[in-house]
Amino acid sequence: MNTHSTKFKVRLGLFVAAGFVLFAIAIFLIGRQKNLFDPVFSLSTTFYNVSGLQVGNNIRFSGINVGTVDNIKIINDSTVLVNMLVQKDVQKFIKTDGMVLIGSEGIIGDRVLIITQGSSNTNSVKSGQFLSSVEPIETDAIMESLDITAQNAEVISAQLIQLLDDINNGKGTLGMLIRDETMATSLNKTMGNLQQSSKGLNENMEAAKSNFLLRGYFRKKEKAAEKKKEEAAEAKKQ
């Protein structure tokens, strides 16, 4: 009986000890994630609308989690104050002209605060400093814009389908031009006449060059062109 009681007490003690160890590990991991055991400094900013941001959400700088949202407080009907706790070792990299904006972890993930990189020649922030912010774009506004774009695309698509159908059926000027064989033949003849006219013009120009009355004129033009080529060649050599 005593042996059984002793084993039970030993097992109970081991169970309690294991529970304390797991509890300590959990506290350490949570504290490490929330920067409870790391030296931190504070920053603040304001938004008109925090768009679902909550206390405890991560703060990112250069894509790395560097802190957490410490407090969110409504100042007035148009201003919400957000206090941040940021790891001390990244303070020298955050500049006074950096901006704070609200992002999201994935498409439907938790909200995060993002601190942008400022100018390299600007001073680093001090503890308790205020940073400017960029107002977030609401998801409803994005969806509304996408809906309008989709409606416009649907209208344009329907118009293109109607236009192609009219062309295939020979409707409209373009449809008549494509479907009417007589008009196509007329265009071919017109193009042929233009080619013959161009050929005749070239022949007339050659004949004019051979005419002794105009021969001097064309020779002067040729000499002037040759002189320009020589001057250009000399300019390149210089």
pLDDT in tens, 123-180: 999 999 999 998 876 665 566 667 778 778 877 887 788 777 776 776 666 666 666 5
Could you identify the residue written with the tokens 């405890």?
56
Lowest mean pLDDT among 11-15, 63-67, 156-160: 11-15
The residues with which 83 forms a beta bridge, in sequence order, are: 44, 71
Considering only residues 3 and 123, tell me which one the structure prediction assigns the higher pLDDT.
123
pTM of the model: 0.48
Tell me the percentage of the chain whose pLDDT exceeds 90. Answer: 29
pLDDT the model gives residue 52: 86
Task: With beta carbons less than 8 A apart as the criterion, state whether 62 and 117 touch.
Answer: yes
Considering only residues 27 and 94, tell me which one the structure prediction assigns the higher pLDDT.
94
- As a whole number, the mean pLDDT across the chain is 77
Q: What is the dihedral of CA 183, 186, 188, 191, to 10 degrees?
A: -120
Give residue 51's pLDDT band: very low, low, confident or very high (50, 70, 90). confident
pLDDT greater than 80 at residue 23: no
Extract the tokens encoding 42.
């504070």
Give residue 35's pLDDT band: very low, low, confident or very high (50, 70, 90). low
pLDDT the model gives residue 61: 93
pLDDT the model gives residue 81: 95
Tell me the percentage of the chain whose pLDDT exceeds 70. Answer: 61
CA distances for 181 relative to 55, 171, 178, 185, 188, angstroms? 75, 14, 8, 6, 11
Q: Got the DSSP string for 124-138?
A: BP-TTEE-EEEPPPP
Give residue 44's pLDDT band: very low, low, confident or very high (50, 70, 90). very high
pLDDT greater than 80 at residue 83: yes
Contacts of residue 118, Cβ cutoff 8 Å, sequence gap at least 6:
94, 95, 96, 97, 98, 99
Start-end of H helices in the chain: 2-33, 139-168, 172-179, 181-210, 212-237
Give residue 115's pLDDT band: very low, low, confident or very high (50, 70, 90). very high
CA distance 137 to 131: 19
Lowest mean pLDDT among 27-36, 151-160, 180-189, 200-209: 27-36
Considering only residues 24 and 132, tell me which one the structure prediction assigns the higher pLDDT.
132
Considering only residues 94 and 231, tell me which one the structure prediction assigns the higher pLDDT.
94
